[in-house]
Amino acid sequence: MGIVLKTNNQTLVNIFKWALNEKSVDVVHSMDLEQAYDLSKKTPCLALIVDMDTLTKDDFVRLKEWNQKHGLPTMIHINYSIPKSKAPKMNDSLYYINQDIWFDKDNHAVWVNDERIPLTSMECKLLNVLTKKAGKPISIDEIVNEVWGHEHGIGSESLYVHIRKLRKKIEADPSDPQIIVTCRGLGYQLVKGQEPHG
């Protein structure tokens, strides 16, 4: 079973998917109202959720007609904004990186656009260290000590291998990273986007 979500807001899609993942509820996303309605009829659907900010007057009329003629699953109209004070913080399970990427550290995953991408334990530890000091360069030694402790044999080459794997999961172009950037002579830095706010 699932819900169909009609919205143009990718952050809203990510939040619904994150919140409902543990309940085994699928979230099907559409930016087109008619397509969203068709999807709600074709799949076992608990609800059609419509973001009011995306609706025109004609859309409201169409929804009313569809409901009268065919019957809709439970339909919820929502206005969406995340006040800055309520945006996900670093100590919450869900950590905001940018409008397309969220780090779900408790569940060892990142959400990139619509997709939940699992992280290995080491990738999760590494990303957690980077998010703690987002916006600031972190030395290689500090990252290694935070992630691996004082284990022998772990150096910059091993760290680079894990950074490269992590970039493949979250960067649009891993060869030209914009999120986990190299600070020459210093180490690495996580570049965080501006948090959503109303």
List the CATH number of the domain containing 34.
Answer: 3.40.50.2300
Nearest-5° angle of CA 53, CA 56, CA 58? 150
Query: Residue 71: its pLDDT value, please?
Result: 63
Instruction: Report the distance separating Cα 76 and Cα 99, nearest Å.
Output: 24
Count: domains in the chain: 2
Quick one: 184 and 95 in the same domain?
A: yes
Quick one: 23 and 97 in the same domain?
A: no
Q: From residue 108, how far is each of 100, 124, 127, 128, 133 by CA, in Å?
A: 17, 6, 10, 10, 19
Query: Residue 88: its pLDDT value, please?
Result: 41
Does residue 45 belong to any structural domain of this protein? yes
Return the structure tokens found at 55.
């609706």
Q: Which domain holds residue 171?
A: 89-190
CB 29 within 8 A of CB 114: yes
Quick one: 75 and 137 in the same domain?
A: no
Sole residue written with tokens 């009313």? 64
CB 166 within 8 A of CB 179: no
Quick one: 93 and 137 in the same domain?
A: yes
Sole residue written with tokens 């957690």? 128
Query: Residue 86: its pLDDT value, please?
Result: 39
CB 13 within 8 A of CB 27: yes
Does residue 49 belong to any structural domain of this protein? yes
Q: Which of 80, 104, 120 is the last residue of a domain?
A: 80
Quick one: 25 and 74 in the same domain?
A: yes
Helix (H, G, I), strand (E, B) or coil at 104: strand
Residue 77 has phi, psi (to 5 degrees) of -95, 135
Q: Which of 19, 45, 80 is the last residue of a domain?
A: 80
Query: Residue 85: its pLDDT value, please?
Result: 39
Q: Which of 47, 80, 113 is the last residue of a domain?
A: 80
CB 130 within 8 A of CB 188: yes
What torsion, rounded to 10 degrees, do the Cα atoms 131, 132, 137, 138 define? -110
Query: Which CATH number do you get for residue 173?
Result: 1.10.10.10
Per-residue pLDDT in tens (0 to 9) along the chain, 198 residues: 677 777 777 777 777 777 777 677 888 877 777 777 777 777 777 777 777 666 676 777 777 777 666 665 545 555 544 444 333 444 456 788 888 888 988 888 898 886 889 999 999 999 999 999 999 999 999 999 888 887 666 778 888 999 999 999 999 999 999 999 999 988 999 999 876 544
Query: Shortest CA distance to 148 belongs to which of 122, 166, 167?
Result: 122
Query: Residue 34: its pLDDT value, please?
Result: 76
Does residue 198 belong to any structural domain of this protein? no
